Chains A and B, each alone.
Chain A
Amino acid sequence: MKNKSLVSIDDLTTEEILRILDLAVEFEKEPVQKLLEGRVIATLFFEPSTRTRLSFESAINRLGGKIVGFADSSTSSVSKGETLYDTIRTVDNYCDLIVMRHPLEGSARFASEIATVPVINAGDGANQHPTQTLLDLYSIRKTQGNLDNLNIFVVGDLKYGRTVHSLVMAMSRWNATFNFIAPEELKMPDEIKLYLENIGLKYFEHSDFTEIISVADIIYMTRVQKERFSDPIDYEKVKNIYVLKEKMLKNTKPNLRILHPLPRVNEIHTDVDRNPKAYYFEQALNGVYTRQAILCSLLGIK
């Protein structure tokens, strides 16, 4: 790979993305491969993210690697006032690769410029979370057979959801059609819509999706958070519109799959879980294979 670190999904060429997805297929077939034997991976979580951390640690363990790090900056020297620069310079000596989650945007890019070992961005504030995007792509390709010409529904908080921004930008490489379903307050930002217009891709905006759900290949659900609304009454008005229920899936396409980055709160009713079109827990499992592929790819092992 051209870049030794993975900071932003835009750093990868389409070929590099597909290569990682192909590698992930190999790990799905054979998850336990001792390719990281004798290697040490640092997982630096400056803010807690249990799901992402466990997924990475599971991937590292299945590859036979060892882990050093922290799950929360309050237990590290950061709480003593150490700069990110110093933390990275130090940890760089202890490991072969750094996985990092940090609340400040751009922190992963900065770390990748300091470290001599590869850095994987496991989320830098509201900016990027490329391994999530890659596992989403893996899940879409696996369930749909390929990534081309799909109709992608993205539902919920489209304004602040970095996951959906990266997903839309990534899927735009494969001629997707997008349906954005969000309350007025949380609509997709203009810069993303402008980007799609410039490259000639179709998108549609709706405030409700019950009528149009039958054309979807993928429904990507996200959580509408109460804190995003300046007026709590506005939240009360919309909170039930963006909840997916089992009965809404009646006339949907057979290939439809429902994705969600998790954690779910109430935006997908639990009655959806038993429907074979629910795919969010398998999606989480795909995250482990995808991260195995990313680790090996960045370390030049595969």
Chain B
Amino acid sequence: MKEPKQLSVSAIQNGTVIDHVPARNLFKVIQILGLDHIDNQITFGTNLESKKLGTKAIIKISDKFFADDDINRIALVAPDAKLNIIRDYEVVEKKVVVVPDAITGIAKCMNPKCITNSEKVTTRFRVISKKNVSLKCHYCEKITNQENMQII
């Protein structure tokens, strides 16, 4: 007898599924997308098995659809994330996250002598590498790489 196919995180009728989020960055994704401040139903699972990432997290948000620019903001912490747009339990569209050319806010400049770390300035970066994301600060011109990246 076959085992029933079980979903670790139950299906949603309408909304967005964000899959292949690195487990350790789940809460950063939640923070960047502001999911902790909305009233929609949200279910998530973390430390799930993933062939690609080892462990992954998945987030399902009911009745929420993101603009591309909004969703690309998570590229710094979940570059391999895949989005499924769900309508009436069916996947109607798939999207991938694209690392944008510029990042405003979100990340902190790793240079302790940068003006953005001592004065109220919104950080701005130019993305100089998309594979292993590295950012060049618009202000101090120093590079912040993936290993040292802190999300504000």
Enumerate chain A interface residues (CB-CB to B < 8 A). Answer: 8, 83-85, 102-107, 109-110, 124-128, 191
Enumerate chain B interface residues (CB-CB to A < 8 A). Answer: 109, 111, 113-116, 118-121, 137-143
Q: A105-B142, A127-B141 are in contact. Are A83 and B119 (CB under 8 A)?
A: yes
Distance of A85 Cα from B116 Cα, bound (Å): 12
A104 touches B120 (CB 8 A): no
Partner of B113 from A105, A109, A110, A128 at Cβ < 8 Å: A105
- Minimum Cβ distance to chain B for residue A248 (Å): 35
Task: Report which residue of A102, A105, A110, A124 has the largest number of chain B beta carbons within 10 angstroms of its beta carbon.
Answer: A105
Partner of B115 from A8, A104, A126, A191 at Cβ < 8 Å: A104
Contacts of B120 in A (CB 8 A): 83, 85
A104 touches B141 (CB 8 A): no
Q: A125-B113, A126-B113 are in contact. Are A105 and B119 (CB under 8 A)?
A: no
A127 touches B119 (CB 8 A): no
Contacts of A103 in B (CB 8 A): 113
- Minimum Cβ distance to chain A for residue B135 (Å): 13
Q: Taking A104-B115, A105-B113, A124-B115 as given, write out 12 further A-B residue pairs in contact, using a Cβ cutoff of 8 Å, ordered by the A residue number.
A: A83-B120, A104-B140, A106-B115, A106-B137, A106-B138, A106-B139, A107-B139, A109-B139, A110-B119, A110-B139, A125-B113, A127-B140
- Minimum Cβ distance to chain A for residue B120 (Å): 7
Contacts of A125 in B (CB 8 A): 113, 140
A105 touches B138 (CB 8 A): no
- Minimum Cβ distance to chain B for residue A8 (Å): 7
- Minimum Cβ distance to chain B for residue A117 (Å): 19
Distance of A128 Cα from B138 Cα, bound (Å): 13
B141 touches A110 (CB 8 A): no
B143's nearest neighbour on chain A, judged by CB, is A191
Partner of B114 from A83, A84, A85, A104 at Cβ < 8 Å: A104
B119 touches A84 (CB 8 A): yes
B118 touches A110 (CB 8 A): no
Contacts of B142 in A (CB 8 A): 105, 127
A128 touches B141 (CB 8 A): yes
Distance of A106 Cα from B140 Cα, bound (Å): 4
Closest 5 CB pairs of A and B: A106-B139, A105-B140, A106-B140, A106-B115, A107-B115
Partner of B111 from A85, A105, A109, A191 at Cβ < 8 Å: A105
Task: Report which residue of A102, A126, A127 has the largest number of chain B beta carbons within 10 angstroms of its beta carbon.
Answer: A127
Distance of A102 Cα from B115 Cα, bound (Å): 10
Instruction: Give 29 CB contacts A-B under 8 Å.
Output: A83-B120, A84-B119, A85-B119, A85-B120, A103-B113, A104-B113, A104-B115, A104-B118, A104-B119, A105-B111, A105-B113, A105-B114, A105-B115, A105-B139, A105-B141, A105-B142, A106-B137, A106-B139, A106-B141, A107-B139, A109-B138, A109-B139, A110-B116, A110-B119, A110-B121, A110-B139, A124-B115, A127-B140, A127-B142
Distance of A83 Cα from B118 Cα, bound (Å): 9
